[in-house]
Amino acid sequence: MPNQLIAGRYQVLRAIGRGGMGTVWLCRDDVLGREVAVKQMGALPGESATETKRAMREARSTAAFSHPNAVAVYDVVNHNERPWLVMEYVEGETLADEISRDGQLSPRRVADIGAQLAGALARAHQRRIVHRDIKPANVLIDKAGRPKISDFGIARGQGDDQLTAIGFITGTPGYLSPELARGEDPHPASDVWALGATLYAAVEGRSPYESRSNPIALLRAIATEPPRPMTHAGALAPAIAAMMDEDPANRWDMATSAKRLGGIAAVEATAVMPVAASGDTAVMPVVASGATAVMPVVIAAPVVEPTKRFEAGAPQQQPPDERGSGRRRVSLGLAALLLAAMGMAFFVSQLGDQGGTPLVLATTRATTPAQTAAPSPSRVSEEPTTRGDQKHLESFLKSYYSNVTKDTDRTWDQLSPRMQSFAGGREGYDDFWKKIDKVRVNEVRAYDSGTKASVGLTFTRDHGGTSTETHQFTFITQDGDYLIDSDRLG
């Protein structure tokens, strides 16, 4: 291939990348005198000549898309009856190369990479462009350290009937969302999941699912099993969980992902974030004396149904007058990330003089085989909440928060196994609560027959910083007693 001339203009110099979708060649543009990357577009399985021409039109349309964190597509040319993409040449390496060389990358660096890529993808989604093949090998890191998502020219518009024809095996099964693994149509939420999986790989040094020699088996695992627990993600874990929610409707959109990942990167640049001993994350802000701290935000998934497995994002049901208002009520303050008091979660709020927007998150959910074998005790009832439910929940929560800063042996047993897992295990739970001096329960409003409650809480840290938050809880019962099964800010 070297020394050949593509489309009478691009002189092939050498191969600079290879993958399932073909070889990328470094070429010299004889017209403009610049180096470019050129890649042959592979035909989709069963694609006709007419459909290939349509793909070329889509690629040319995509070439109009421009973003600093996306590899520019300059042109699509025909050479030997095949379409070729002419792209910006990015001198550097791929994120996959960096992971292979360095292993686990720092949460702050990964959050920064993710924020920039999400910004580019959010812009693409506004143009109804779905990428479909986001993975570490398609993230280029230039010499200045700036990430750029590549292969936008191969992406196709949302609604294109050829989206479903893309070969999953060549489309990197390890980074396909559960709905794609089940054979559903690609959409922007699929890109969000794939970016979350890419960030997972970068911060954990491994892909979310164990590699399998049989790609069909891997697709089945993605469709039916939760990702492997995160152990190194630190403050980034809740964000990745929110992006990789099994239910596309519960995932952050790409614009939200960009904002919140940017907030994590900013916070981690100025604060030392302790990491939970296992799985999920414990995060505490560094607060100057006298400053107001953003206090623990407990977060958890919606009520577990028997067949569900892993979830991140807003819960399925909320009280009608609370929906969408929690985030707006959070005051702008010191940027911070925190561990959910009993679950993995965080809240990010940028400094007021930066005009930052409060960033709140959502959760992961993992259901063990034992849990999926029997109906969940936390299934929500449609019956109205009684005065007895209200008083019982008030009593339970006041007792829990009165004891949690003094006797975690007692309160640990008041969490469901799922919440104990989200808290990073007993060590992570104890480590978090030893930093809190006291918690005041301000208001409890029970609903859905006492299986859920909206609760106002004021946290006081051991150095005196305080914060008042509203939390949405779900509960299960065991032997007549409540267990906290999930909690989120909002």
* Backbone conformation region of residue 260, classed left if phi is above 0, alpha if psi is from -120 to 50, else beta: alpha
Choosing from 88, 116, 145, the residue where a domain stops is 88
Q: How many domains does the chain have?
A: 2
Distance CA 276, CA 438 (A): 21
Choosing from 88, 123, 153, the residue where a domain stops is 88
The per-residue pLDDT for range 402-429, each reduced to its tens digit, is 999 999 999 999 998 877 766 667 877 8
The per-residue pLDDT for range 99-125, each reduced to its tens digit, is 999 999 999 999 999 999 999 999 999
pTM: 0.56
Percent of the chain with pLDDT over 70: 66
Q: Mean pLDDT, to the nearest integer, of 176-197?
A: 94
Distance CA 40, CA 83 (A): 6
Choosing from 24, 58, 88, the residue where a domain stops is 88
Structure tokens at 122: 């959010």
Residues labelled catalytic: 133
Q: Is residue 110 part of a domain?
A: no
Q: Is residue 249 part of a domain?
A: no
321 pLDDT tier (thresholds 50, 70, 90): very low
Q: What angle do the packed helices 107-126 and 188-204 form, to 10 degrees?
A: 170
Q: Is residue 319 part of a domain?
A: yes
Angstrom distances, CA of residue 193 to CA of 111, 240, 259: 15, 9, 16
Q: Is residue 96 part of a domain?
A: no
Q: Is residue 198 part of a domain?
A: no
Q: Is residue 12 part of a domain?
A: yes
Least trusted range by pLDDT, from 175-184, 342-351, 479-488: 342-351
Host domain of residue 388: 272-490
CATH number of the domain that 14 lies in?
3.30.200.20
CATH number of the domain that 393 lies in?
3.10.450.540
Q: Is residue 436 part of a domain?
A: yes
Nearest residue to 160 via CA among 53, 263, 89, 55: 55
Of 322-336, 411-425, 439-453, highest mean pLDDT: 439-453
Distance CA 36, CA 34 (A): 6
Percent of the chain with pLDDT over 90: 40
Instruction: Give me the pLDDT at residue 433, please.
Output: 87
Residue 62 predicted with pLDDT over 80: no
44 pLDDT tier (thresholds 50, 70, 90): low
Distance CA 152, CA 155 (A): 5
Q: Which amino acid is at 55?
A: A
Structure tokens at 5: 């001339």
Q: Is residue 45 part of a domain?
A: yes
Instruction: Give me the pLDDT at residue 434, please.
Output: 84
Top pLDDT among 425 and 172 is at 425
Distance CA 127, CA 346 (A): 31
393 pLDDT tier (thresholds 50, 70, 90): confident
Q: Which amino acid is at 279?
A: G
